Chains A and B, each alone.
Chain A
Amino acid sequence: MQWRQWLRQILDPSASFQEQTFTLGDRGQQPAAEEQGPFRLKDAEARTQRVLTHIDSILEAVPLGEAAMKKAGDLTPDLDENRRRLEALFRMPENKDLIIRELQVATQPPTRAVVCFMEGLSDKTIINRDILQPLMLLAHLDHHLDGQRESGPTQFTVDVIIQRLLPGHQVSEKHSLKEVAEALLMGDTVLLFEGQRTAITVETKEPPVRSISEPKSEQSIQGPHDSFVEAFRMNVAMIRRRLKDPRVVTEILTVGQVSSTFVALMYIDGIVNPKLVAEVKQRVDGIKVDTLNDVGVLAQFIEDAPASLMPGSLTTERPDRAAAYLAEGHVALIVDNSPYALIFPITFWSLLQTSEDYYLRFPFGTFLRFSRLAALLTSLLVPAFYIALVNYHQEMLPTELMLFVAASREAVPMPAILELVIMEVTFELIREAGTRIPNVLGSAISLVASLILGQAAVEARIVSPLLIVVVAITGLASFALPNFLDSFAIRMLRFVLLIAAALLGFYGLAAGLFILILYLSSMRSMGVPYLAPLAPRMRGAADTILQPPAYTMEFRPRHVRPMDERRQKPITRPWDPRSRAAEEEPDRGGRP
């Protein structure tokens, strides 16, 4: 029958379905103002009602004193009215996520109550066993301490319920509908009672969460293999199990109108500089946005220079790394729903460091850091060097090599810079494709692509073989950098330096490098100079490119200005006679 419809469409000029296909409001229909009206009206109605109730409750509380006035909220004593307002707020009955269950609390006389919770976010076992059961079945079992049973009607207040009937570990009173809604959205259970202006919330959060697995981007061979997950409570817990100190503080801030994302600010009070904490808090509080999805967005809101190429904060998915930074006096921000922690302040040298370095012996750690430094310089400078050498400073190549390169380049019809740009772009494409391909095919395809493309390009005389080597080495070197965001920065800076070298040879490259280093040295991350502690040189400079032995790192690095500078006793190997011999030398820790 389909063809009949098609025929009709072609032959009958008036059978146009265009006007009947769905659009959101273009084609001359009236703009949203009219459609938004009813929504705003409904919101306004609900708000007015709540305000009126609020005024009533304040008036009621006036004779009871100031404390009672402060507690007055906008819940009515009428249970049904409260319930109706709650359902209106949550868009029920269309919204099926909110479950409201009526019950009767077995007090004398029985009280009507309502239990509300969000399906999927709350732990049903606790609701059944620790809320419904005691309220419905066990409320009549109230004994005095001396074993006598009280007779007569039970004095019913919310206080009694909390103190004697609800065996939940976190129970609190809420006075306004907004707080009730927030609690419900977090996964808590809310109890509303007939005749009470107060609601009770019981903590029953059990959001869906992934179990702890291996880190995806920061693997280590010899070191812990757990990584952060999306639930910030678990992340905080993973850090806390590594830092068992009462001074570890977790402040919880909420960001976002619609998402109300929790942001946990962790620091060690007594080590961290309070000015740093205050500044971070101030910046986070200043974020007025509707949703906060991820740590990266938070970083862009808070950082000193979000437009700069180099990141001003560190995102890590390893709790041991976060704990190590906290112990040095940094601040960690953990965003709910994001398996990363954000560390402030950070320096450029985090590019060269992973937590694994410290777990290895110091010669190996130093070797690893040097190789990363070499990788950094390689991925940044090699293409620029190639262009400068081949285009400007041919006298610098040894004669034989130069003749060989000239011979291989004679077959290629393009100028050197063009082939370099083509190969670099191809490499970036391959890299991006490798990330997007589904896992099972990913590595195989990238390998095949790079090998075959490279070989074929040489045979097709598009590029010369030396160039393939150059591009491959550069690409590999950029993978050796442990920090993902920084490798982005290096990739982009590589192009900048390439252009500088293509314009003026080594002179241009030197100018580009000079300006780059100037830029880095003038940048700050949460107030700390980006190249500290090497420039300005501070204590802790030994730990940037080299790695000192673990038992000599007695002081915390100074660039975060910790309150407590010493982290180890001078003699940490007291059984070793050699270290005791060093005890006679004066402690040289003084100079900043």
Chain B
Amino acid sequence: MNLADGHIGSAEGVILIYVCLAAKLFLQYPAFLITAGGTAGWQVALVMTVAALILFLPAVALAQRFPGQGLSEISRQVAGPFVGTALILLICLWVLGAITLTLRSITENFIIAMLPHTPPSVLTAAMILCMIYASYCGFESMARTTRILFPVMIVGLLVVLLFNLPRVEAGRLFPFWGNGIPTVAVSGLSYVGMAAEAVVLLLLGASFRTSSVLRTSGMLGILLFGLTAIAMTALLIGVFGAPDAAQQPFPVFTLARLVYVGRFLQRTEALLVMFWFFAAAVHLSVLFHATAVGLAGSLCLPFYRPLIFPLAVLVASLVLLPEDYMVVVRTDRDWMRPLGIGILLIPFLLLVVAAIRRRGGTADAS
């Protein structure tokens, strides 16, 4: 199938990006935010959202300047064949790293939570199978699947959030400013890399109907993700208290375990695990597909399908590389997220260069 498959509309795009980004909230990211901000962890999330939205604007402008093209073609046009390809390879490398770390985190979390004695390679293999098949079916199919599964995932999330509201004690959110406004602001900005996966939107730019669809998907998706992050962080602080919440590798799972309504609505976390699996599968599949498409575009291949299997093997081997779970957590926090800021800046760079060299249509084409 060629690179520009798909005709994604804005509703599907928003849902796709939202699920793709929000899937990470089930992992240790809220813990990062709460460690950084203390009882003001949700403010860190707020700063992160605003910063991400602002940083994404140049990417949107870039996409509108080159309607109907993916980032690979854009960067080749703007920065020339060598530098352009190098930039795209950089992005793809980062996305691969993100996939690896997220996949490993998810596998570890499922092992910790649900299936303690299963070897991680089996769980990873199952997930990679889903990723391969999703990429094989195409971006359009992924969008449709997410559309169908979206109500299910939202119900899962809402059950966990709403049924834990009685446990929230507002007092736990004080002192209000947590670790202090400067710390909050700085950490918020440093964690903007959490939303960096939105750059895959650009890699897949050819699959969207119009560039304004891309803009809506990106902005609205990041906004919704930010709101969910704020809500979840606030809830976690309210239920667990900041010190305890900062130590949760799988906070949503622990929240789900606490759901106890009446005597019968309890112990539902195994069911909710299914819904989180969907979100995680969507997240990984979108990133994987974006890598395949981006690589194919930057190497001037007309089809991306031949790249699926080699990339899958690559991911499978990379996933087993970190020795233990703490290495994954630390690498993610100390390396991937800061690099993510750089990744978010690449479209900005390209935009500047495009403006200087006067490539592409005018910026207000839509």
Q: Do chains A and B touch in the complex (CB under 8 A)?
A: yes
Q: Is A521's CB under 8 angstroms from B127's CB?
A: no
Q: Does A513 contact B (CB under 8 A)?
A: yes
Q: Is B142's CB under 8 angstroms from A396's CB?
A: no
Q: Is B148's CB under 8 angstroms from A531's CB?
A: yes
Q: A514 CA to B12 CA in the complex, in Å? A: 17
Q: Is B148's CB under 8 angstroms from A507's CB?
A: no
CB distance from B300 to the nearest CB of A (A): 26
Q: A504 CA to B270 CA in the complex, in Å? A: 12
Given the known interface contacts A504-B122, A508-B126, the answer about A393 and B277 at a Cβ–Cβ threshold of 8 Å is no
Of B118, B273, B281, the residue contacting A506 (CB under 8 A) is B273
Of B137, B266, B267, the residue contacting A519 (CB under 8 A) is B137
Q: A509 CA to B276 CA in the complex, in Å? A: 12
Interface centre among B7, B118, B141, B269 (most CB of A within 10 A): B141
Q: Does B147 contact A (CB under 8 A)?
A: yes
Query: How many chain A residues touch the partner (CB < 8 A)?
Result: 31
Interface centre among A517, A519, A521 (most CB of B within 10 A): A521
Given the known interface contacts A506-B114, A522-B137, the answer about A536 and B9 at a Cβ–Cβ threshold of 8 Å is yes
Q: Is B267's CB under 8 angstroms from A398's CB?
A: yes
CB distance from B314 to the nearest CB of A (A): 21
Q: A535 CA to B277 CA in the complex, in Å? A: 20
CB distance from B166 to the nearest CB of A (A): 20
Give every chain A residue within 8 A of B9 (Cβ-Cβ). 536-537, 592
Q: Does A325 contact B (CB under 8 A)?
A: no
CB distance from A443 to the nearest CB of B (A): 37
Q: Does A505 contact B (CB under 8 A)?
A: yes
Q: Is A513's CB under 8 angstroms from B114's CB?
A: no
Given the known interface contacts A515-B133, A518-B134, A535-B145, the answer about A510 and B277 at a Cβ–Cβ threshold of 8 Å is yes
Chain B binding surface SS class: helix
Give every chain B residue within 8 A of A513 (Cβ-Cβ). 274, 278
Q: Is B271's CB under 8 angstroms from A504's CB?
A: no
Per-position binary interface string of chain B over residues 238-281, scored 1 when its CB falls under 8 Å from any chain A CB and 0 otherwise: 00000000000000000000000001101111110111011001
Q: Is B144's CB under 8 angstroms from A529's CB?
A: yes
Within 8 A of B (CB), among A489-526: 504-511, 513-515, 517-519, 521-522
Within 8 A of A (CB), among B104-151: 110, 114-115, 118, 122-123, 126-127, 129-130, 133-134, 137-138, 140-145, 147-149
Q: Is B281's CB under 8 angstroms from A521's CB?
A: no
Q: Does B11 contact A (CB under 8 A)?
A: yes
Closest Cβ neighbor of B142 among chain A residues: A518
Give every chain A residue within 8 A of B268 (Cβ-Cβ). 396
**Cross-chain pairs A/B with CB under 8 angstroms, 8 sampled:** A392-B114, A398-B263, A398-B267, A506-B277, A517-B149, A521-B137, A529-B144, A535-B148
A residues adjacent to B (C-beta < 8 A): 388-389, 392-393, 395-398, 504-511, 513-515, 517-519, 521-522, 529, 531, 534-537, 592
B residues adjacent to A (C-beta < 8 A): 7, 9, 11-12, 110, 114-115, 118, 122-123, 126-127, 129-130, 133-134, 137-138, 140-145, 147-149, 263-264, 266-271, 273-275, 277-278, 281
